[in-house]
Structure 1
């Protein structure tokens, strides 16, 4: 599903809206888990389960099978969360439904009203009723029951399962596309096993800039440092450790720097190529302006200096000239 993943940011674009049902997923997350300290969550909407993973710069949303649906930059979520809190407090003061969280509150009021009308008011305790028109958001949240240890553990297990499943799919895809399968197969098989045991490794494997090719280059570079002469003998377990070290390595800043340098290099190459093209064009224009010799052109006659006649002293007049 990688090609269908949608990325939402603060940029103002025509297609930068969540749409249904993703807007409902984001709303529920902002209301129930945004300020929690955990990084992994599981929520249920209309009998469907969704997994959420908070990363350093983006928050990723998955379906129940661990397939990535979309991600949102944390800057955008923070702005929307603050905006929604402000809207809710303002709208509640005016006794009007707020957007978008006000609609959720309005739905709760409607549900409470229908419960009373249907004759189930005997199951509602007086202390559980909150006057929604005057309650603050803090009062509403405070009245929600805290999750039990069993519920927290179950949610953590479900989130871990989603994380591991995503890491498994990525590594299997890397192995499928690897050119050096004889080397890649045992190393990636080891990483798959370790991801099942270590949530942290699974999370690191899912980083967008981490790839098997870069992992192979890292292993090769470590082996090159230990070579003696023209060869290096390295144990399998050491190679596996190097592979795991690569995914744990915090090299995001280095990768971004390399990417910028590569873009700068390509831009310079393009400029140099354009300059050479312009120079060749100028040389061609100058060459075309130089006239070429035509076959009809008559050669200039060569004027030879006439030699003085014999017995005539040069520089003196002859008597015959006077006749």
Structure 2
């Protein structure tokens, strides 16, 4: 339904946010599958552990400074709310701290991954709060399964710095290689399936008898997807 409206990763992410907010998870999964988004990324995005569905590809280029890199990434993400607030802090930090600038200039480090790291930390807190309510014998039903959090700017900025300080170059390289293999495998499988459809020929079609009742349609299995416990995080000014 939405395939013809999507032309790039930026538009894909915008549509994914819309589908998540409207709780249209089946269409979101279908769209993500067509764009070969890894399954774990889809699940993390639905649950609220990822800021955006798909990684925006960045050219492998040399930046003259960390500030230049941060500004370009901020422009590509085009999130004038949460991401821009964090990005402006990181730019100021890079201008003042040469050591932090070197961390930002690492090729595998991006603002998008930084935002995902922040979301993961906040989700972990929300999950613990949810478990506390359950263990505290409070009734948890319906929309009460959601947990709203107010997280201070200081905490969010600290998580952002923690991300850039992580020594995760090998981990990111292994992850990228694994995802690439999955993507190639999925593409090959898709090509094979399309080839079978084109070459298959029905030699003896079944003709239904007159007055015969049509076969009952199979009921589509309903998806039991819990609402995201953490879908939006607000920054509290201190």
Higher strand share: 1
Rg: which structure is higher? Answer: 1
Q: TM-score, normalised by structure 2?
A: 0.48
Q: TM-score, normalised by structure 1?
A: 0.36
Q: Which has the higher contact order (CA 8 A, sep 6+)?
A: 2
